[in-house]
């Protein structure tokens, strides 16, 4: 299709992308998850590979095929994803964290299949924030986060950008029904560490991914990578 970039501007670059929802185990047959399908992150991974990058995709369980030329690693839970991402971070030029990582996980997952009884409360504990960890460890990498917001998008997105020491954040307005989760289209609000902001108008996720990588390429160049 016409909108696929013919550029090879990522050749020689190492790119790590995360995608999809994590699953947090309750017992051996049940888990907590969210509505993310992984499409946006897979589109970024595929586009970066087409543009010449060496791409590692750390993905939740999605049912999507691995994009051509991409090294896919499956990470089921937030903890798995934390391990797989952090141990590869130092060698990367660019990290794009599109995954919808669970914020909470069951405190003590049960072995086997839990038997029903009376009502009970499931105790949840906080997961590690992968992106915040990368931001704290960042040296010359370009770090791109995503944000899913249902209100006050700009304020929350800019807050995450600053708190997690990102170079760029791509915010999704999840109050819109026509885009986002499970949709083939998306609209992204981009906020940069230098204060700039731009909008990627509603378009196919493949095209949004190309545009996002155009901005990431500029940031890589600014850092001399």
Is residue 101 close enough to count as binding ligand CTP by CB under 6 A?
Answer: yes
146 is in an annotated binding site: yes
Alpha-carbon distance of 63 to 65, in angstroms, equals: 7
Report strand pairing: 104-106 vs 54-59.
unpaired
Binding ligand CTP (rule: CB under 6 A), the pick from 103, 154, 201, 221 is 103
In order of 1, 10, 63, 102, the CA distances from 47 in angstroms are 13, 10, 19, 26
In order of 77, 132, 136, 220, the CA distances from 21 in angstroms are 9, 18, 23, 27
Binding ligand CTP (rule: CB under 6 A), the pick from 147, 179, 203, 219 is 147
Reference 56, options 4, 9, 23, 93; nearest CA is 93
- Active site positions, annotated: 34
CB of 134 to ligand CTP, least distance (A): 8
Binding-site ranges for Ca ion (CB under 5 A): 103
What is the torsional sign of CA 57, 89, 98, 50?
negative
39 is in an annotated binding site: no
181 is in an annotated binding site: no
List the interface residues with ligand CTP, window 158-177 (CB under 6 A).
Answer: 160
Is residue 129 close enough to count as binding ligand CTP by CB under 6 A?
Answer: yes
State which residue, 26 or 148, has the beta carbon closest to ligand CTP.
148
- Contact predicate 10/218, CB 8 Å: no
Alpha-carbon distance of 40 to 59, in angstroms, equals: 12
- Contact predicate 157/147, CB 8 Å: yes
164 is in an annotated binding site: yes
Given the rule CB under 6 A, which of 35-43, 66-74, 97-105, 114-122 is the region that contacts ligand CTP? Answer: 97-105
Binding ligand CTP (rule: CB under 6 A), the pick from 77, 127, 141, 207 is 127
Alpha-carbon distance of 144 to 168, in angstroms, equals: 5
In order of 13, 37, 40, 180, the CA distances from 172 in angstroms are 26, 14, 11, 7
CB of 184 to ligand CTP, least distance (A): 21
Q: Which does 64 bind (CB under 5 to 8 A by kind): ligand CTP, Ca ion, none?
A: none
State which residue, 48 or 101, has the beta carbon closest to ligand CTP.
101
Burial of 161 (0-12, 13-18, 19+ CB in 10 A): buried
Binding ligand CTP (rule: CB under 6 A), the pick from 49, 53, 55, 78 is 78
Sites of contact with ligand CTP (CB under 6 A): 78, 97, 99, 101, 103, 127, 129-131, 145-148, 160
Which residues are documented as binding site for CTP?
Answer: 103, 113, 146, 160, 164
Which residues are documented as binding site?
Answer: 103, 113, 146, 160, 164
């Amino acid at each position: 299709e016409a909108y696929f970039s013919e550029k090879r501007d990522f050749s020689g670059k190492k790119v790590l992308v995360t995608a999809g929802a994590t699953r947090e185990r309750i017992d051996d047959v049940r888990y907590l998850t969210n509505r993310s399908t992984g499409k946006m992150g897979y589109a970024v991974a595929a586009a970066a590979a087409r543009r010449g990058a060496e791409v590692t995709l750390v993905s939740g369980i999605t049912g999507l095929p691995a994009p051509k030329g991409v090294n896919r690693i499956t990470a089921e839970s937030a903890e798995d994803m934390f391990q797989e991402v952090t141990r590869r971070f130092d060698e990367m030029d660019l990290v794009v964290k599109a995954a919808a990582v669970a914020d909470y996980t069951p405190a003590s997952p049960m072995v086997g299949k839990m038997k029903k009884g009376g009502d009970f409360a499931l105790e949840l504990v906080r997961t590690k924030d992968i992106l915040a960890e990368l931001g704290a460890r960042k040296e010359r990498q370009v770090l791109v986060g995503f944000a899913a917001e249902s209100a006050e998008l700009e304020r929350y997105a800019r807050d995450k950008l600053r708190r997690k020491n990102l170079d760029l954040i791509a915010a999704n307005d999840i109050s819109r029904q026509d885009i986002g989760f499970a949709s083939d289209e998306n609209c992204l609000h981009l906020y940069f560490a230098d204060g700039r902001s731009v909008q990627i108008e509603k378009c196919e996720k493949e095209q949004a991914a190309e545009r996002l990588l155009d901005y990431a390429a500029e940031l890589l160049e600014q850092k001399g990578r």
